Amino acid sequence: MYMSGFGNEFASEDPRCPGSLPEGQNNPQVCPYGLYAEQLSGSAFTCPRSTNKRSWLYRILPSVCHKPFKPMSCGDLTENWNEVEPDPNQLRWKPFNILKSSEKKVDFISGLHTVCGAGDSKSRNGIAIHMYTCNTSMIDKCFQNADGDFLIGANGLANPRDFQTPVAWYEDRTVATGYTVVNKYQGKLFSCQQDFSPFNVVAWHGNYTPYKYNLENFMVINCVAYDHADPSIFTVLTAKSTRPGVAIADFVIFPPRWGVADHTFRPPYYHRNCMSEFMGLIKGHYEAKEEGFQPGGASLHSIMTPHGPDVDCFEKNSTAVLKPERVAEGTMAFMFESSFSMAVTKWGLETCQRLDKSYYKCWEALKSHFNPNWKPSSK
């Protein structure tokens, strides 16, 4: 069950315990049903009320009831941006390997691999891009991220009603063999043990919540005259930086839409800019590189590194009859556009063995069409 909306003030209680939300206050001397009140804050206490993020949870036991955290192996999860030399080239990865059910059991945590990133979790100013693959559920284990959110704030044409937040549902379960809580803190993983399930929230209210969003619901706008509108029109979510108008990351998608621009080269144009662009293809064929950019793969175009459509795309669309047409039908591509200069990890450049070292060749056959005697056609 879910509640719809983005940034709402939600209130929810498990129907098995009616009246479990305290009336008229957050922290009564004795909570209904003998529950513990616990506040979860997502912003500083001194934030203006309009931007304050917090939720009150009413739990069977508070989350403080655990044994001490101990370091654990981080695998390929890292913030060591200095382990390889910088590489300004256009980078593209072939589809990352997907684990089969018959292979060694790997859960979400052990299946996380850091591809690239920048910044520092200690100062809470940065970005890290990970890929993951897993073939088994986390049994009596959960994950929390103290370094930042896996979810980022909204700013774009995603309708608030399409974001879905879960309703309260509790699990009152003792785990005699121990329940493992894994915590990512300052780029490292730590684990602790407790003897109960942490999913024991009977009721809650607030606006600091997890949510899910179906990318197919994005309401696209586009150019209806000529040239291209700025790619920001495809922004679903934004993680703001301390500089107004400059994002730590814009989460952008390129969904199916109509192309109708007149006198225009309609695919993405050649460009380089002051942002890093990490792109991935979920399904289908990306309009500007139909051959080499495959579902499950990714690319990184660093700050001021030029990129754009491959040879086939340029030649085809330079002479195409410009009529209304569906663009990117059956596809879904996404991009993180960041003001940070990304460093690629050793796993991304070497260990994963998915780097497409022939990527640059997709532009090699571009030829000069320059004609010094060109005259504009008469109208």
Model pLDDT, residue 377: 76
* 66 appears as a binding residue in the annotation: no
* 271 appears as a binding residue in the annotation: yes
Candidates 116, 59, 61, 41; CA nearest to 84 is 116
Model pLDDT, residue 378: 64
CA distance 342 to 302: 7
Residue 187 DSSP code = T
Model pLDDT, residue 102: 78
- What tokens appear for 348 in the block? 């991304």
* 350 appears as a binding residue in the annotation: no
Model pLDDT, residue 292: 76
Q: What domains can be seen in the chain, in order of their start residue? A: 216-359 (2.60.120.10)
CA distance 217 to 106: 31
By percentage, how much of the chain surpasses pLDDT 70? 98
Residues of the chain with pLDDT under 50: 151, 153-155
Model pLDDT, residue 154: 44
Catalytic residues: 228
Model pLDDT, residue 50: 82
Q: How many CA atoms lie within 13 A of 67 on its CB side?
A: 14
* 130 appears as a binding residue in the annotation: no
Model pLDDT, residue 153: 44
